Structure 1
Amino acid sequence: MLDIAEELSRWVEQGRDFAVATVVAVGGSAPRRPGAALAVDTDGTAVGSVSGGCVEGAVYDLCQQVLRDGEPVLERFGYSDDDAFAVGLTCGGVIDILVTPVRTGDPVRPVAAAAVKAAASGAASALARIVTGPADLVGHALLVRPDGSHDGSHDGGLGAHPELDRTVAAEAAALLDAGRTGTLEIGERGARCGAPLTVLVESAVPPPRMIVFGAIDFASALVRVGKFLGHHVTVCDARPVFATRARFPEADEIVVEWPHRYLERAQVDARTVLCVLTHDAKFDVPLLQLALRLPVAYVGAMGSRRTHLDRNARLREVGVTEMELARLRSPIGLDLGARTPEETALSIAAEIVANRRGGTGVPLTGAHTPIHHDVTSVPAGRIGSVA
């Protein structure tokens, strides 16, 4: 639901009733991941997607049914070649989809409204909904904030045991902290084993940061690709003549400061990627000395193999350990044979995605590795997630 929060927030403000279909779990080569959503209002207007086209028509009909009946529905769609006209996923995957009514007067509406409003404004929040379990609990929702406080659709919670609210809120806050969407297997009274309930937790967090150090032509291309991937992109360079809005019109922020001094005060987290394109020792060494000790997702540095070896030697001289050096992606990017700034930016972006998703970077043709590497469900009380 939260991946189409801006549209749904407008619908709520306009007083429109709607039903929303959300991907809960996937198996095989399903085209979209948990959290993907399609919503349909009473006029038949649709926004979003749950399958990239394979089962949209059937899900659209389900949304209309749920709008009429007022009862949530959990439906599974899978591959079928027995009937050429059967509704199924041609890619061979399986998806479970929860369809929930969000109508005026429905208990879930205030929670859903608050969740989409928060997500649309860029505030961090998580929406937890019961997917499987007792029929009288399916569809119940809990809005969880980063501090663990929460509001629910039924008696201020999920409408079961108070301990269930506390457990789900704690687990959802952990998922939110990591910026992930996933499922929980949990007991009706909050136990972390013997789990009769499945709870989908959707996280909405501000975009992950990409900080590009070095205001060069390659950086301009990387800024564009970073924005395309959904990052909040900052360009930092100590030279004011190069770090200008005219050269980087698509950057969210341009900082004129020595790179390591900016990084000392910058807010970073486990989703932040740092791309060092300066390939100048006076910038690189103090910057990487700090960067390799920060809890960020990715640190890459541009330069030839000779530059890489010289830079590593200089980093060792200032006390960077072998374990810290092992985090450095250098020369930056995957081997695409890139020449132009745009091709190089694509190479860097490909490595960032592979690092984030656990990909190998090898061609899929002839390979026997999974196309999707994300784990989407795990045993009781633990979290299955996708970024």
Structure 2
Amino acid sequence: MLDIADELNRWLEEGRDFAVATVVAVSGSAPREPGAALAVDAEGTAIGSVSGGCVEGAVYELCTQALKDGQVVRERFCYSDEDAFAVGLTCGGILDILITPMPADGPGRKAFQVALSATARGEATALARVIGGPAELLGRALAVRQVGSYEGELGGHADLDRAAASETRSLLDAGRTGTFDIAQDGSHCEPDLTVFVESSVPPPRMLVFGAIDFAAALVRVGKFLGYHVTVCDARPVFATRTRFPEADDIVVNWPHRYLQHTETDERTVICVLTHDAKFDVPLLETALRLPAAYIGAMGSRRTHQDRDRRLRDIGLTEAELARLHSPIGLDLGARTPEETALSIAAEIVAPRHGGTGLPLSGSHTPIHHDTEARRSGSASLTLMTEAVRVGAFA
């Protein structure tokens, strides 16, 4: 739901009644991840998406019904060979969706407002909601931020709220969306509640070193993928806003000096496009010892061999060198800056979800690796619309 925070926050400020449907579990091949949401207001206006089109119509109707009767609904949609194009997911997946009415005067609205407004401001926040357990608790919510108190309640028990807020904050610190089980007394003994946590954190960073034409194309692709993109180069004549209008930050500094003092984490991607030893070697010496998701360096195979030798000479280990993607990018036969940027982006995205980089048409691996891994048992692929209707949301 936090993926449409800007629009929903505006609806809250305008005092609109609305219902929001959120994907809370996925199994098999499905087009959207947990947290994807569709919201419908009292006038019938819809924003967001839960399935890329497969079940949007049915979910829209559930939202309009929830607005009328004030009931929380959890519904499951699955693939059906017999009626694949009616309501089921033609891609073969299973979606669990929670539909929650948000009347303007509803007591549960405050937690949503805190989470949505914080997300809209770009602050790290998480929304925890009960998706399994006693009917009267389904849909209860807590808004949790990395620092400070939490807002809302899950079950009227202070111990439960404190424990759930702590669990939620752990997921938020890791930037993860997921679930945990907990008992109504706040312990983990005989848990009878399942809580879905949707985390929203500031966008990951893409650091592009080398203000060249390939960098300009990579900046555009990086922004398209949702990164906060910084371009750094020691040459002020090249590192300019005119050359990189879409970059979030443009830094004139020696690359290794900037990297030593800027913030990086496990989601950061570092792209070294300078292919000049006086820049590359000290920069990569720093980069390969930082917690980063991806480190790639441009250059020919001869340049790579020379760079590898220099890095070994200054003491980098085999484990550190193994983190380097060089020459940068997948083999797409790329020649233009745009094609090269695409090959780099593909190499960045592939390992995020266990992709191989091979053509799907010639492989037998799952299309959605992470969602296939969540499949448990031999789930029956029949159309299932199992709704659990509970009392009015409070």
TM-score, scaled to structure 2 = 0.92
C-alpha contact (below 8 Å) 2:40/2:63 kept by paired residues? yes
Q: Could you list the per-position Cα deviations for residues 203-231 of structure 1 after superposition, in whole angstroms to 9, with x for gaps in the alignment?
A: 11111100000001100000000000000
**Any residues of structure 2 matched to 1:143-162 within 5 Å, and which?**
143-147=143-147, 149-152=149-152, 157-162=153-158
**Any residues of structure 2 matched to 1:163-182 within 5 Å, and which?**
163-182=159-178
Matched residues in 2 for 1:281 and 1:85: separation? 57
Is residue 300 of structure 1 aligned with residue 276 of structure 2?
Answer: no
TM-score, scaled to structure 1 = 0.93
Aligned to 1:344: 340
C-alpha contact (below 8 Å) 2:84/2:90 kept by paired residues? no
Matched residues in 1 for 2:348 and 2:354: separation? 10
Q: Quote the offset at 1:259 in angstroms.
A: 0.2
- The partner residue of 2:224 within 224, 228, 232 is 228
Identity %: 72
- What residue identity is the alignment partner of 1:123? E
5+ residue gaps, structure 1, are 380-387
Aligned length: 375
SS class of match (1:136): helix
- The partner residue of 1:262 within 254, 258, 265 is 258
Matched residues in 1 for 2:254 and 2:337: separation? 23
Is residue 59 of structure 1 aligned with residue 55 of structure 2?
Answer: no
Is residue 289 of structure 1 aligned with residue 257 of structure 2?
Answer: no
C-alpha contact (below 8 Å) 1:185/1:198 kept by paired residues? yes
- What residue identity is the alignment partner of 1:62? L
Q: Could you list the per-position Cα deviations for residues 345-377 of structure 1 after superposition, in whole angstroms to 9, with x for gaps in the alignment?
A: 000000111122221111111312111122586
Q: Could you list the per-position Cα deviations for residues 221-245 of structure 1 after superposition, in whole angstroms to 9, with x for gaps in the alignment?
A: 0000000000000000000111111
Matched residues in 2 for 1:148 and 1:171: separation? 15
Q: Could you list the per-position Cα deviations for residues 117-153 of structure 1 after superposition, in whole angstroms to 9, with x for gaps in the alignment?
A: 111110110000001110111100011111373111x
5+ residue gaps, structure 2, are 377-394
**Of the two structures, which has the highest relative contact order with CA contacts closer than 8 Å and spacing of 6 or more?**
2
**Any residues of structure 2 matched to 1:237-386 within 5 Å, and which?**
237-374=233-370
SS class of match (1:319): coil
Q: Quote the offset at 1:85 in angstroms.
A: 5.9
Aligned to 2:381: none
Aligned to 1:383: none
Q: Quote the offset at 1:320 in angstroms.
A: 1.0
SS class of match (2:67): helix
C-alpha contact (below 8 Å) 1:182/1:377 kept by paired residues? no
Q: Quote the offset at 1:162 in angstroms.
A: 3.1
C-alpha contact (below 8 Å) 2:26/2:374 kept by paired residues? no
Aligned to 2:206: 210
SS class of match (1:254): strand
Matched residues in 1 for 2:67 and 2:46: separation? 13
- What residue identity is the alignment partner of 1:178? A
Q: Quote the offset at 1:171 in angstroms.
A: 2.2
- What residue identity is the alignment partner of 1:187? A
